[in-house]
């Protein structure tokens, strides 16, 4: 099937409240344009320079999501245009995003990435780090970021029960935090689910799925 056909067939299965991020990392512009021409306007990339270069070359009504791990020293390259940063996993990073957003006179939407997988290697905050971040006065004074949700990645395994347990854990944190709403902290987005596990993620309450290979084909 073509990229457009893949995209549309996935879109047709998604419930109305679930947003599709087309993960286009490593793929060339013509592939992204095929998805664009089929109506897709949200693209996810995991490298800042690659996202910047694609942003420069592509139509300006695209919303660019940074889904990868972000190095603090590269934040400034995406602050003029990024629409949502999924992988905010430290206070230091959040401070830098706030600082660069201020320079650009913007308020940038961010998701806090939670560590839900068993693997040590996956990035993310644990419960304690999340609580201390939210409680800090420094966080409460940040005016140029808005936390709009949480993001998480399940363990890379075939064990559906385990993946489900991890997604349910993230959903329970998301639900618990609903009572703490402020102007800069309003959790509406739960970003979980990729090509292999997005159906399960939706069953567990995902509102945003990040799908790459099932749309664009495998990556090298």
Ligand X SMILES: *Cc1c(COP(=O)(O)O)cnc(C)c1O
Neighbours of 145 (CB within 10 A): 24
Residue 25 touches ligand X, criterion: CB under 6 A: yes
Q: Which residues pair with 85 in a beta bridge?
A: 66, 110
Instruction: Tell me which of 88, 94, 114, 211 binds ligand X, using CB under 6 A.
Output: 211
Q: Which residues pair with 145 in a beta bridge?
A: 108
Q: With CB under 6 A as the contact rule, which of the stretches 31-39, 102-110, 135-143, 190-198 interacts with ligand X? A: 190-198
Written as six digits, the tokens of 4 are 């457009």
Instruction: Tell me which of 24, 40, 46, 98 binds ligand X, using CB under 6 A.
Output: 46
Beta strands 63-66 and 108-114 are unpaired
Q: With CB under 6 A as the contact rule, which of the stretches 31-39, 91-99, 168-176, 191-199 interacts with ligand X? A: 191-199
Residue 67 touches ligand X, criterion: CB under 6 A: yes
Neighbours of 194 (CB within 10 A): 19
Closest approach of Cβ 97 to ligand X, in Å? Answer: 17
198 vs 93: CA distance, rounded Å: 27
Which 3 state secondary structure label does DSSP give 143? Answer: coil
Number of residues that bind ligand X (CB under 6 A): 14
Closest approach of Cβ 196 to ligand X, in Å? Answer: 6
204 vs 49: CA distance, rounded Å: 33
Residue 47 touches ligand X, criterion: CB under 6 A: no
Contact residues for ligand X, defined by CB under 6 A:
23, 25, 46, 67-68, 153, 194-196, 210-214
């Amino acid at each position: 099937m073509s990229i457009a056909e893949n995209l549309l067939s996935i879109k047709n299965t998604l419930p109305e409240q679930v947003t599709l991020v087309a993960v286009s990392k490593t793929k060339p512009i013509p592939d992204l344009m095929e998805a664009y021409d089929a109506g897709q306007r949200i693209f996810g990339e995991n490298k800042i320079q690659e996202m910047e270069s694609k942003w420069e070359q592509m139509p300006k009504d695209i919303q660019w999501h940074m889904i990868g791990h972000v190095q603090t020293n590269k934040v400034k390259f995406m602050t003029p245009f990024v629409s949502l940063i999924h992988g905010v996993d430290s206070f230091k990073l959040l401070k830098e995003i706030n600082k660069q957003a201020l320079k650009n006179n913007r308020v940038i939407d961010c998701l806090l990435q939670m560590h839900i997988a068993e693997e040590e290697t996956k990035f993310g905050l644990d419960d304690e780090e999340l609580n201390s971040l939210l409680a800090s006065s420094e966080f409460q004074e940040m005016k140029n970021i808005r936390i709009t949700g949480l993001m998480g990645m399940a363990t890379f395994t075939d064990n559906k029960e385990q993946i489900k347990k991890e997604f349910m854990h993230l959903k329970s944190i998301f639900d618990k935090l609903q009572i703490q709403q402020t102007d800069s902290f309003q959790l509406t987005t739960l970003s979980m689910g990729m090509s292999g596990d997005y159906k399960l993620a939706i069953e567990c309450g995902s509102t945003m799925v990040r799908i790459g290979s099932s749309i664009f084909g495998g990556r090298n």
